[in-house]
Amino acid sequence: MAFDCDAHGVYPIAPTPFHEDGRIDDESVDRLTDFYVEAGATGITVLGIMGEAPKLDQPEAIAIAARFIRRARGLPIVVGVSAPGFAAMRSLTRAVMDAGAAGVMIAPPPSLRTDDQIVTYYRQAVEAIGTDVPFVIQDYPMTLTVIMTPGVIRRIVMENPSCVMLKHEDWPGLEKISALRGFERDGSLRHISILCGNGGLFLDFEMERGADGAMTGYAFPDMLADVVRESRAGRRDAAHDLFDAHLPLIRYEQQPGTGLAVRKYVMMRRGILGSDAQRKPGAGLPAAAKVEVEYLLSRVSRVDARAAMPVGARA
């Protein structure tokens, strides 16, 4: 499926796999990519906030993105290029687009406050990366402290034809999806794809409000793909039943500050990552939390067998 305004399904936010000593774990990158393809992903997002992008220097970032791109054999790869300034954003964008990326994702810097500041920022960012590079707006106020009204998002979309997608992770955000889809219906906004983040915590209802899928890093993207499929097929109760079985773990993984440790631990436990190591200042999962995660997995496995066993060998 193409990365464009009609994209739907699941774009997992890929974690960046590290060895215990902090080096990048290339084998796990490959295994992770294969896993996403098999899990039914319609794209992959790399170098997001939860991909520990700020902990990489630029040569590392380019190398990782390129490896995902080569391995994904055609699945569109979106690369997070948020940076403190436009020069670094441009050089990273050019490098990954040259390597075959489908597009980039841009988050607003936390200093932005007024509507005009936000709109101007995206205008200048597009000018920096080039108007031919498809991009995703990341709307994530809980972490970024930047609040974009539906009207501001409309201004950005209408002003920049290269905008193809919104990564929606406002919170609360259900009314925002409805507002944007309402703008489309009244003709004031062209159609864009909306994929939702926030660890999937509201995916059940986001789909019903008009979202096209998920862009998030929950450790069971295969489950997210199922929920999106069931929901798009109109099987509401089935979608909620599966979602609710995972919700205790989704919620546990969604804790700010510790969520990535949970996610990497579960993905290691599933045989996808070779290690749950993070680069500093990240920290591993405390012992008590591991026991809790195991308990949660055992409960999820009563409904979803994928929680019970590794998806592959780790050799």
Binding site for its own copies (CB under 8 A): 52, 54-60, 84-88, 90-91, 110, 113-117, 120-121, 124, 127-128, 142, 146-149, 151-152, 171-172, 174-175, 178, 201-202, 204-205, 208-209, 240, 244, 247-248, 251-252, 255-259, 279-281, 286, 288-289, 292, 299
Q: Give CA angle at 228 (285, 53), nearest 5°.
A: 40
Q: Are strands 103-106 and 135-139 parallel, antiparallel or unpaired?
A: parallel
Nearer to its own copies, 46 or 164 (CB): 46
| CA dist., res. 208 & res. 13, Å (int) | 22
Strands (E), the chain: 9-10, 44-46, 77-80, 103-106, 135-139, 163-168, 193-196, 213-214
CB of 84 to its own copies, least distance (A): 4
CB of 42 to its own copies, least distance (A): 26
CB of 205 to its own copies, least distance (A): 6
Nearer to its own copies, 42 or 278 (CB): 278
| CA dist., res. 53 & res. 90, Å (int) | 16
Nearer to its own copies, 113 or 235 (CB): 113
Task: Please say whether the beta carbons of 162 and 134 come within 8 A.
Answer: yes
Nearer to its own copies, 235 or 251 (CB): 251
Nearer to its own copies, 38 or 145 (CB): 145
Provide φ and ψ at 214, rounded to 5°.
-125, 145
CB of 296 to its own copies, least distance (A): 9
